Amino acid sequence: MNSVSNFGRSVEIRPLYRNRTKETVIATATCAPAAPCEDRRIAKSRRALRGALIELMEERGYDALTVNDLCERADTSRGTFYNHFRDKDGLLAVLEDEVMADLDALQGRMQSITLADMLAFRATGRPLPFLVELFDYLREQSDFLHAVLGPGGDVRFGPRLREAVCENLVQNILHEKYRDNPTVFVEYYVAFYAAAYLGIIAHWIERGCPESSETMARIAMRLLFIKPGESIELQVGRKSDEEKHQEQQVH
């Protein structure tokens, strides 16, 4: 097993995707942290490369950009880049995997939430706390998600997100009797829910995240319980004037 330095940490390397070449790698283990001053330097380089990748994906598309482009935009030397990544795919893979790990941790909290919990929060008009945290996180990552899911991003990342959402639904929401042997209807339900879930997120990010995380959490919860023929108007509890104004814009 080979190893390289990933921003100050000695790490082992493994292939990231089955359909990628063996040259595409990602860090999978860490050791002792670097010194504080080195940590700050590494963090600064990482932020610069992340920002450069986002800007260039938006401007010219991922396939067209090069390591030289990234280093020039980030004001970073090629030597610094290659100390941490083998190629541009390595940088993209690290950023994508971090987002996936964070989302997996947030969605994993759904295991402890029951239907009764959801109904209780809906009755009071309060959004589920984990949903608020989820949209807080998505807002923080909105620049990266907008770029990587856009026309100039990584065409593999959208399906990867959808697969993760479907897996989360199966493991954390479906009744256990359907997990190992889902019916055809359940399979379509999972596909429908995953598409709707990601559609809400994509629409919000595409519009620049204008609604608050609390409002988006209420919208997501409301959409879960809409019945055929029922008004789509948000039926929530007491809200601030700002949130009321934002919800008026939704309609």
CB proximity list for 82: less than 8 A, separation 6 or greater:
67
Are residues 38 and 81 both part of a single domain? Answer: yes
Check residues 63 and 124 and name the one with the higher pLDDT.
63
Residue-range definition of the domain harbouring residue 187: 91-250
> pLDDT tens digits for 216-251?
999 988 887 665 555 555 544 444 444 455 445 544
Helix, strand, coil % over all residues of the chain, rounded to 5:
65, 5, 30
| Mean pLDDT of all residues belonging to the chain | 78
> pLDDT tens digits for 191-215?
888 898 899 999 999 999 999 999 9
Question: Could you tell me the pLDDT band of residue 65, with boundaries at 50, 70 and 90?
Answer: very high
Are residues 113 and 234 both part of a single domain? Answer: yes
Are residues 136 and 221 both part of a single domain? Answer: yes
Are residues 153 and 214 both part of a single domain? Answer: yes
C-beta separation of 175 from 199 below 8 A: no
Query: Residue 148: how many CB atoms within 10 A of its CB?
Result: 24
- Last residue of one domain, picked from the residues 57, 90, 123: 90
- Last residue of one domain, picked from the residues 90, 105, 125: 90
Check residues 121 and 64 and name the one with the higher pLDDT.
64
Are residues 182 and 197 both part of a single domain? Answer: yes
Are residues 86 and 105 both part of a single domain? Answer: no
| Span 75-99, average pLDDT | 95
Are residues 124 and 134 both part of a single domain? Answer: yes
Pick the range with the lowest mean pLDDT from 92-96, 100-104, 179-183, 201-205: 179-183
pLDDT the model gives residue 161: 93
Are residues 111 and 197 both part of a single domain? Answer: yes
pLDDT the model gives residue 34: 53
Does residue 19 surpass a pLDDT of 70? no
Indicate the number of domains in the chain.
2
> pLDDT tens digits for 21-61?
333 333 333 444 556 776 888 889 999 999 999 999 999 99
Are residues 138 and 217 both part of a single domain? Answer: yes
Are residues 85 and 111 both part of a single domain? Answer: no
Are residues 197 and 167 both part of a single domain? Answer: yes
Residues of the chain with pLDDT > 90, as a percent, come to: 44
- Asked whether the CA dihedral 116, 223, 110, 138 is positive or negative, the reply is negative
- CATH number of the domain to which 75 belongs: 1.10.10.60
Residues of the chain with pLDDT > 70, as a percent, come to: 69
> pLDDT tens digits for 140-156?
999 999 999 999 999 99
Q: What is the CA radius of gyration of the chain?
A: 21
- Last residue of one domain, picked from the residues 52, 74, 90: 90
The greatest distance separating any two alpha carbons of the chain, rounded to the nearest whole angstrom, comes to: 61
Under DSSP, is residue 180 helix (H, G, I), strand (E, B) or coil? coil
Are residues 98 and 191 both part of a single domain? Answer: yes
